[in-house]
Amino acid sequence: MLEVSFYILPSPSLSERDLLTCKLAEKAYRQGVYSFILTASEAHSNIMDDLLWTFRANSFIPHQIVSGPNAAPPNAILISHELAYLQQTSILISLSQQFPQPLTGFKRILDILLQDDDTLQSGRARYRQYQQAGATVTTHKL
Domain extent listing, the chain: 3-141
CATH code of the domain made up of 3-141: 3.40.50.10110
Q: Is the predicted pLDDT of residue 132 greater than 90, yes or no?
A: yes
Task: Give the strands of the sheet with 3-8, arranged side by side.
Answer: 63-65, 77-80, 35-38, 91-94, 108-113, 3-8, 136-141
Helix (H), strand (E) at residue 64: strand 63-65
In this prediction, residue 47 has a pLDDT band, given cuts at 50, 70 and 90, of very high
Spatial separation of the C-alpha atoms in residues 37 and 61, rounded to whole Å: 13
In this prediction, residue 71 has a pLDDT band, given cuts at 50, 70 and 90, of low
Mean pLDDT of 98-115: 90
Percentage of the chain exceeding pLDDT 70:
94
State the pLDDT at residue 69. 61
Type of residue at 132:
Q
